[in-house]
Structure 1
Amino acid sequence: MHQIKQYIKFLLKSTNQHGVHSPFVYDFVTKCLYDKKKFYDYKKLQSYRKTLKNSKTELDVTDLGEGSKTLDNQVRKVSQMVSTSSSTKKEARLLYRISKYFELSSVLELGTSLGMGTYAFALANPNSKITTIEGCKNTSIFTESQFESLDVNNVNFNIGAFALEIEKLNETHFDCIYFDGHHNKQATIQYFETLLPKAHNDSVFIFDDIYWSKDMTEAWDYIKAHKAVRVTVDCFHLGFVFFRKEQAKEHFKIRL
């Protein structure tokens, strides 16, 4: 019910590129979010999704975050997980375009799951370094084995609780941090603030499911208001955060 109410509000307040006056955000919307090019790598993303949907594998899943709203059982079929706990086809393509557009060379992902988002980042820039953290050991091991068969070698898989694994990171900065797990207000804010020092002026933070619950929406509002944040772009399912000090503080709601 929360999501339905928020989506109605979003539709009433959101716009397209014609309601954007910031040159930076206008270019982001028109040249990235609304980019209609049929990238060849989209076929690879779709092929991987098909492989997961056809998988007969079952995983004993450990949820360290909020878990799934549709899958309650601990033993889950990969074929079901790809539809409920993984980036959608549209989201994976969007993450791919974002990585291409901003030429991301270093990405941190919180929440590997079956690696649809991870694969999108890895394909977009083969020379980039992707660090992905997953709380469930079995899920991470399965996904890493899939990436080995795909000959993807620019991804580092880390297993453990986000808070503990974040402390172990050696990187000084990341071009992008994708928050795609533990959909909880307190945890989201904690990870955001802990990782703020790893953002540079042109970094982008991406938050998944910002209207997942009332708690997550409150976390999104907190992040928007943070003094370090200059620009946000709310696309309902995903929220984008920019730290560009040369920008005036503005918030945009963009329909995809």
Structure 2
Amino acid sequence: MYRIWSYFTFFIRSTNQYGIHSPFVYQYLTQCLYRKSRKHRSKVQKVLIKSIPYFKYKSVELFTDQQQYLEAVREEYPEVESGRKPSDLIFIGGDYFEKFDFESLEEYSHNRTMILLEGIYENRRNREVWNQLCKKARIRVSIDFYHGGILFLRKEQEKQHFRIRI
């Protein structure tokens, strides 16, 4: 019942690219996320795979036990490094939400880092963690797309939160 209600409230409050007033987020949506992909993947996998070339990321850190994410990144971008600190892109799978130490994000991130979280509406606990992360002063841009969430640390940007239908 929680997931049905949370999707309903998300759908009512969310927008598409036309409701976005941030040039950075608008370009990211229209030039990256809304582009058609060749392979059938989950929404979170599509965001992960499409974001690497768009931002020209060289290093990715994946915190998940699900091999499909690691395999997808290695298949599409074999030149992308893994395990380097700080990382350009950090992915935290839904299976790591409970055990991940979100305070350790400092050591894995820099100003251009994108943090992708899977399953932010999976349960109330994940939703609370997502809301706490969005409130952190270091997080400047947060994008909620129901199946996951994206956080950017861009110091040069005003703090903004978006709910987007992808």
TM-score by length of 2: 0.91
Give the aligned partner of residue 89 of structure 2: 176
Determine whether 1:21 maps to 2:21.
yes
Structure 1 unmatched runs, 5+ = 47-87, 132-170
Determine whether 1:216 maps to 2:126.
yes
Please tell me whether the aligned partners of residues 207 and 239 of structure 1 are also in contact (alpha carbons under 8 angstroms). yes
Distance 1:120 1:100 in 2: 14
Determine whether 1:98 maps to 2:12.
no
Q: 1:97, CA displacement in angstroms? A: 0.8
Structure 2 unmatched runs, 5+ = none
Distance 1:100 1:200 in 2: 18
Runs of 4+ in structure 1 deviating by more than 6 angstroms, as ranges, are none
Give the aligned partner of residue 65 of structure 2: 112
Distance 1:173 1:201 in 2: 10
Q: 1:37, CA displacement in angstroms? A: 4.9
Give the aligned partner of residue 146 of structure 2: 236
Which aligned pairs between 1:1-256 and structure 2 lie closer than 5 A?
Answer: 1-38=1-38, 42=39, 88-113=41-66, 115-131=67-83, 171-180=84-93, 181-184=95-98, 187-188=99-100, 191-256=101-166
Q: Secondary structure at the match of 2:96?
A: coil
Distance 1:197 1:36 in 2: 34
Q: Spell out, residue by residue over 1:169-215, the C-alpha distance to the aligned partner (whole angstroms, 9 max, x if none).
A: xx33000110002332xx44xx2211223211110001110011111
Q: Secondary structure at the match of 1:233?
A: strand
Q: 1:103, CA displacement in angstroms? A: 1.8
Q: Higher RCO, 1 or 2 (CA under 8 Å, sep at least 6)? A: 2
Please tell me whether the aligned partners of residues 97 and 124 of structure 1 are also in contact (alpha carbons under 8 angstroms). no
Q: What is the RMSD computed on CA atoms of the aligned residues? A: 1.6
Q: Using a 3 Å threshold, how does the CA distance of structure 1 residues 101 and 112 change in structure 2: closer, same or farther?
A: farther
Q: Spell out, residue by residue over 1:99-153, the C-alpha distance to the aligned partner (whole angstroms, 9 max, x if none).
A: 121222111111132x22112222332211134xxxxxxxxxxxxxxxxxxxxxx
Distance 1:204 1:175 in 2: 6
Please tell me whether the aligned partners of residues 59 and 87 of structure 2 are also in contact (alpha carbons under 8 angstroms). yes
Amino acid at match of 2:138: A
Amino acid at match of 2:31: K
Q: Count residues with an aligned counterpart.
A: 165
Please tell me whether the aligned partners of residues 44 and 118 of structure 2 are also in contact (alpha carbons under 8 angstroms). no
Please tell me whether the aligned partners of residues 60 and 81 of structure 2 are also in contact (alpha carbons under 8 angstroms). yes
Distance 1:175 1:183 in 2: 20
